Structure 1
Amino acid sequence: MEDLKLFDNTEIAFQLKSNKELDRAHFLFKMISNEPLVQIGTALTNFAIKLHLPVEGIIRATVFDHFCGGVNEEDCLDVIDDMHTKGVSSVLDYSVEGKETEAHFDGAMEKTLKIIRFSDDRTAMPIAVFKPTGFGRLALYQKIGEGKTLTESEQEEWNRVVARYDAVCKLGLEKDVEILIDAEHSWTQDAVDHLVTDMMRKYNKDKTIVYNTLQMYRHDRMAFLKEQHELGRKEGFYLGYKIVRGAYMEIEHERALELGYPTPICESKLDTDENFNAAAQYILDNISEISVFVGTHNELSSYMVMDLMKEKGLNITDNRVWFGQLFGMSDNISFNLANIGYNVAKYVPFGPVRDVMPYLIRRAEENTSVAGQTGRELMLIKKEKARRKAAK
């Protein structure tokens, strides 16, 4: 096992944070660690935004600036450039959620195309990302996933969704920018999986450009990975997967209970951890055919992937293996990995403050529900504050 103290180095983890930013991070994680406070804060924020109260300045100065890179691409440049001086790349993530019109879907596609062009001459941005429901209606994905017949207008609508994916993946290939496609809820994911496989078939002929996302808290994802691998081998295209534990556990459980079908989620956190690690192992065992973006805030999983790379004689700069964390979280993993030369990218959300609030609220709620995550962040921040004080 790699040196288990690597991620304890707070001097490297927080090297880009001023004392003021460290104090803000301490305040935010302290707030997030209090579940009732998160619920009250969420309700008040939603209320204020609906009433168009002038709260954007307060939000921008606190939670937004900690978890987001800026309101647009240009606004993110300082963050991107600063992180890149420390070896950490950026994946700009247009985090506007909950829009359902064709104009918004076209807008999200144009934004993603702009980011790919924006990335073209920047080594700091080798990867782009989009969310499937940013490119098409959730209900449409669901209907297709359930195998229902589309009306003529729905078929035309779906053709536009396919064209959006195609435009982004095509430009990714032209500009040599890898494309990560995020995961959705299980009842919409089947349609996404079929479409992303089509994109891999078309654009991953010579190497991996297009990546699907596997939420490993789903107990069926290992079987899916193996099936896709067989398909890729048979048809002669490369595969790419971002592996994550998952983001919609409560919603998945509630829907399964309500509609009376078995939950798609693993029985326990341990099962999820084992599933995640099994996926990482399987991909690294087949690295000549499958590339991986290891999206995790889990230190043990990160150490495990490092060990596997060493065991297989893979260079730590091998472009087929990336580590990724969210901006504003797990800097102890990102910056310490980058410091010794691994490929590391931060997901950097951006967008207008008001439009990004659903993302930020989800982030706060997820942090509250992830046992130990917020406590670990707080402990590291306190340790670094004490280190700086002692060094004066």
Structure 2
Amino acid sequence: MIPKTLFEDTETAFSLKSDSELERAYFLFKMISKEPLVRIGTSVTKFALNVNLPVEGLIRSTVFDHFCGGVSEDDCASTVEKLAGVDVYSVLDYSVEGKEEEQQFDRTLDKVMELTRHAKDNPNMPFAVFKPTGFGRFAIWQKVSEGGELSSEEKAEWERIVARYDTICAEAVRCDVVLLIDGEESWMQQAADDLCEAMMQKYNKEKPIVYNTLQCYRWDRLAYLKEIHQRARENNYHLGFKIVRGAYMEKENDRAEAKGYPTPICGSKSETDEHFNQVMRYILDNLSEIGLFLGTHNELSTYLAMERMKEMGLNENDKQVWFGQLFGMSDHISYNLAKAGYNVAKYIPFGPVKDVMPYLIRRAEENTSVAGQTNRELDLLKREKQRRGI
């Protein structure tokens, strides 16, 4: 049995934090635990940035520096190096969201290509990552997902999206860098799933390089996984999946209610947890054909994965299994897992402060909605402060 005290070691969990960084983390999670403060704070921040008030310095020194690696990849270099010192790998995530211009999509492709080449030469960065809407307008993804008829201009726009995907997937294979493609809202995800599947069929012939994301708060993801696995077997290619619980629950439920269709989201937190664990077990039982990146801040799911690996006789650092958490969160899982010999990567968002704020606001809102997780962070930080006598 895996000892259930592994994640209680706060000295290892916060070994990279100075006393002042520990105090800042405690302050931030204390604020995030109070929903009215998050709601007011995000509104004020959006307003201040929109009217160009000089607040970037304040944001940079608090929430940005805690949850992000920097404003550029060069800015992230010291963080990547520090993490490598405790055997934690890095996934640099260019987290600019909500852009709608073709020029910006090309810029994002250039950035992800640059990061992929950078990862090729840096053993501490075995992954590259992007969001589907980083390469094309949300409305086009939605229209293709719904089977709508595209105008000639929209067809050309969709072809540019496909070309961007093909370009980065080919580069990932050339560089031998795993490419993680994030999941988004369900009403655009069908087109993203289909395009990613086409890229897997084309580029995952020898091993999983292109990874899609399964958001397991959607109750249909295990069935989808089994269907695509059957197609992959029939067509002789590998699959790769990052599995997460999901990031758009309130938006998904609100839209389903407003438009009068059944919600795609599991009925409860416990149902989501069970579905996540079923998806995780299915992939672990088929590791010869499916690569797994386990994106979770849930301790129980992590223990279950570790125990299943042990039952299967896998080494802790089996190259087909990775554990991942977001930078600035769940350090008690990340650093203690790495110390125990498992493959661990931190997702490190970066980009200009103003452009990354939509991402940071979404993270704050998610943390507020998962009160147990925020309270766990606070408890561990408080214990480490007491251990250090601060």
Q: TM-score, normalised by structure 2?
A: 0.99
Question: Does residue 385 of structure 1 match 2:360?
Answer: no
**For the residues of structure 2 that align with 1:139 and 1:148, how far apart are their CA atoms?**
11
CA distance in 2, matches of 1:352, 1:160: 25
Give the aligned residue type for 1:52. Answer: N
1:151, CA displacement in angstroms?
1.1
Distance in 1 separating the partners of 2:102 and 2:303 = 43
Structure-1 residue corresponding to 2:153: 153
Rounded to whole Å, the distance in 1 between the matches of 2:47 and 2:290 is 46
Q: Which amino acid aligns with 2:249?
A: M
Asked if 1:376 corresponds to 2:355, the answer is no
Q: Tell me, what secondary structure is at the counterpart of 2:314?
A: coil
In the TM superposition, 1:294-373 aligns within 5 A as: 294-373=294-373
Q: CA deviation at 1:316?
A: 1.2
The answer as to whether partners of 2:33 and 2:371 remain within 8 angstroms in 1 is no
Q: 1:65-115 deviations in whole A, cap 9, x for unaligned?
A: 000000000000000000011010000001110000000100111000000
Q: Secondary structure at the match of 2:389?
A: helix
Q: Secondary structure at the match of 1:252?
A: helix
Bigger drift between 13-22 and 145-154 goes to 145-154
Give the number of equivalent residue pairs: 390
Letter paired with 2:316: I
Shift of 1:250: 0.4
Residues 1:88 and 2:88 are matched in the alignment: yes
Shift of 1:369: 0.4
CA–CA distance in 1 between the matches of 2:42 and 2:371?
20
Per-residue deviation, residues 105-148 of structure 1 (Å, max 9, x unmatched): 00111000000111111111000100000000111011111111
Provide the rounded CA distance (Å) in 2 between the counterparts of 1:8 and 1:53: 42
Partner SS, residue 76 of structure 1: helix
Aligned counterpart, 2:143: 143
Residue in 2 that maps onto 1:196: 196
Offset of 1:261 from its aligned partner? 0.4
The residue number in structure 2 matching 1:19 is 19
Task: Provide the C-alpha distance between the structure 1 equivalents of 2:323 and 2:130, rounded to a whole number of angstroms.
Answer: 18
Task: Identify the residue that residue 113 of structure 2 maps to in structure 1.
Answer: 113
Amino acid at match of 1:259: K
Cα distance, 1:249 vs structure 2: 0.4
Q: Identify the residue that residue 186 of structure 2 maps to in structure 1.
A: 186
CA contact 2:242–2:292 (8 Å) conserved in 1:
yes
For 1:276 and 1:361, locate their aligned partners in 2 and report how far apart those are by CA, in whole Å.
25
Aligned to 2:226: 226
Partners of 2:150 and 2:273 in 1: CA distance? 38
Structure 2 Cα separation of the partners of residues 145 and 40 of structure 1 = 35
- CA drift of 1:348 comes to 0.1
Cα deviation per residue 1:149-188 (whole Å; 9 max; x = unaligned)? 2111111111110111111111111111000000010000
Determine the structure 2 residue equivalent to 1:216.
Answer: 216
Q: Distance in 1 between matches of 2:285 and 2:355?
A: 41
For residue 9 of structure 1, what is the aligned residue in structure 2?
9
1:69 aligns with 2:64: no
Whole-angstrom CA distance in 2 between matches of 1:289 and 1:163: 27
Query: Which letter does structure 2 place at the counterpart of 1:360?
Result: L
Q: CA RMSD in A?
A: 0.7
Residue 84 of structure 1 aligns to which amino acid in structure 2?
A: A
SS at match of 2:371: coil
User: Would you say 1:239 and 2:239 are equivalent positions?
Assistant: yes
Work out the CA distance in 2 between the residues paired with 1:3 and 1:270.
23
Q: Identity of counterpart residues, as a percentage?
A: 62
Q: Distance in 2 between matches of 1:63 and 1:286?
A: 39
3-state secondary structure, aligned to 1:122: coil
Runs (4+) off by over 3 Å: none
Matched, 1:206 2:209: no
Tell me the secondary structure at the aligned position of residue 362 of structure 1.
helix
Report the alpha carbon displacement of residue 2 of structure 1 after superposing the two structures with TM. Answer: 1.5
TM-score scaled by length of structure 1: 0.99
- Deviation of the 1:340 alpha carbon: 1.3
The runs of 5 or more residues in structure 1 that have no matched partner are: none
Shift of 1:318: 1.1
For the residues of structure 2 that align with 1:240 and 1:2, how far apart are their CA atoms? Answer: 26
Return the alpha-carbon distance in structure 1 between the equivalents of residues 286 and 357 of structure 2. 39
| Structure 2 match to 1:133 | 133
User: Per-residue CA shift, 1:260-283, capped at 9, x if unaligned?
Assistant: 100000011111000000001000
CA distance in 2, matches of 1:135, 1:373: 32
- Measure the CA separation in 2 of the matches of 1:62 and 1:142: 36
Matches of 1:168 and 1:3 in 2, distance apart?
41
Paired residues of 2:38 and 2:365 also in contact (CA < 8 A): yes
Any idea what the Cα deviations from partners look like across 1:220-278, whole Å, max 9, x if unmatched? 00000000100000000000000000000000001000111000000111110000000
Q: Is the 8 A contact 2:131 2:183 kept in 1?
A: yes
Structure 1 residue 371, shift from structure 2 partner: 2.6
Gaps of at least 5 residues in structure 2 are none
CA–CA distance in structure 2, aligned partners of residues 249 and 293 of structure 1: 21
SS of equivalent to 1:91: strand
